[in-house]
Amino acid sequence: MSAHTSSRQAKRAAYIPSIELLPDVLAGSVLAIARMISRAEGGYAEASEALAEIYKHTGKAHIVGITGVPGAGKSTLVSSLIKAFASDGYKVGVIAVDPSSPFSGGAILGDRVRMNDAAQSCQAFVRSMATRGHLGGLARSTLQAVDVLDAAGYSPIIIETVGVGQDEVEVVTAAHTIVVLSAPGLGDDIQAIKAGILEIADIHAVSKCDKPEAAAAVSALKGMMALGTIKANSGWNPPVLPVSSVSGERIGNLKEAIGRHWMHLQESGELADRQRNICKARILGTARHLFQHKFNEKADELEKHIQAVVNRDVDPSVAARLLLGWEGEVWVT
């Protein structure tokens, strides 16, 4: 037997079934948590029972989404927030969704180093998850990773994601508090308008306030809030907060605003509605992905329907219903 084969066998022998990792995950073992997240990310069927068990232990953490256009300063801000929350005694979890784009490969490595530095000094848990190759499964596995951290006692749990793409928006809207980060001087004042993510903000942060251009971005955002261009969530007026991760300036303000929003959700009773909405979105998101998966399996059948529609034998809506095995007369517009 070659050394290679025996080391592979040893590895296989060392595989601990996910369900057996569960007590260690709940006890906060970093190794068990990391393994469980890998299995969620890898879509291991074997892990689904453990993840279902884990879900029963969730619902305690404050989940904070941080989003913004590429280069807005999200990762740098997350590193600063880790330190700020940890110094108040919080056990911070971070899931950073990497766009895996060829343009940000270097930045991601830099992010990891920076965040890991912040994490190591404060016992925070930081994990990057790649989007590449995960089309459709990203939201599911990211939120399962959040579940793992929640069950293990982390709070707040920060999800960092670039605000483009349906999956990323799905991820960030699963947070209780959403921070949209805008950066000054990246073309126009408020790039996030174009990305359509301003509306989802509970808190607007403007990064790089050590730069003089930041003031213009802050006043433009405040002006839009005053004009009602951006819809405010009921009973909560989203603040516009300049921050600088470089000078550390006003990171405390952002930390306090995040805490204040969490209190607001609890005191106003809005938290229950948000929780319901998050559950609904997770069910529907997963159902949509399962459907997509089913369609992918039916590629040959779809080909036949396409040909039939091209030939004018059937119309597209009949073909769609045949593809779905849709019974009855329901007319969907």
Query: Which is nearer to ligand GTP, 75 or 173 (by Cβ)?
Result: 75
Considering CB distances under 5 to 8 angstroms, the limit depending on partner class, which of ligand GTP, Mg ion, none binds residue 260?
A: none
Query: Which is nearer to ligand GTP, 150 or 189 (by Cβ)?
Result: 189
Q: For residue 91, which phi and psi values (nearest 5 degrees)?
A: -100, 100
Contact 79, 112 (CB under 8 A): no
Query: Which is nearer to Mg ion, 139 or 162 (by Cβ)?
Result: 162
Strands (E), the chain: 63-68, 93-98, 125-130, 157-162, 177-182, 203-206, 240-242
- How near is the Cβ of 90 to ligand GTP at its closest, in Å? 21
- How near is the Cβ of 76 to ligand GTP at its closest, in Å? 3
Contact 233, 205 (CB under 8 A): no
Q: Is the dihedral of CA 97, 100, 103, 105 positive or negative?
A: positive
- How near is the Cβ of 140 to ligand GTP at its closest, in Å? 21
Query: Which is nearer to Mg ion, 109 or 306 (by Cβ)?
Result: 109
Q: How many CA atoms lie within 13 A of 68 on its CB side?
A: 22
Pairing of strands 93-98, 63-68: unpaired
Residue 199 sits in the site that holds ligand GTP (CB under 6 A): no
Contact 275, 59 (CB under 8 A): yes
Residue 244 sits in the site that holds ligand GTP (CB under 6 A): yes
Residue 104 sits in the site that holds ligand GTP (CB under 6 A): yes
- How near is the Cβ of 281 to ligand GTP at its closest, in Å? 23
Compose the 41-80 pattern: x for residues touching ligand GTP by CB under 6 A, - for all others: ---------------------------x-xxxxxxx----
